[in-house]
Amino acid sequence: MPEALFARYDSGHDLRTGEDIAAYLEAVMEDDGDDPAHVARALEVVARALDTTALAHKASLLRKAGNRL
């Protein structure tokens, strides 16, 4: 039987709006706010989510501009 391949789950993919990010950070602070490593990891997830969101927005703008040409 072949080995199953799984993609690593990234919770940053679920953070699409400012409200999503705020709720995520609030939950992290309630659960593990006293653990600096956990808070730092959460901030990395948010940074990745913001970068992905910005990239998607730019791609959307480029696609719209290309449709006008």
Confidence check: pLDDT of 62 > 70:
no
pTM to 2 decimals? 0.66
pLDDT score at 4: 80
Q: Which two tokens stand for residue 2?
A: 């072949």
**Taking the domains of the chain in order of start, what are their residue ranges?**
14-56
pLDDT score at 13: 82
Give the whole-angstrom CA distance, residue 9 versus residue 13: 9
Q: 59 or 39: whose pLDDT is higher?
A: 39
Query: Could you report the per-residue pLDDT of 11-41, keeping only the tens digit for each?
Result: 888 888 889 999 999 999 999 888 999 998 9
> Residue 12 burial (CB < 10 Å; 0-12/13-18/19+)?
buried
Query: Could you report the per-residue pLDDT of 39-52, keeping only the tens digit for each?
Result: 989 988 998 888 87
Give the whole-angstrom CA distance, residue 51 versus residue 60: 14
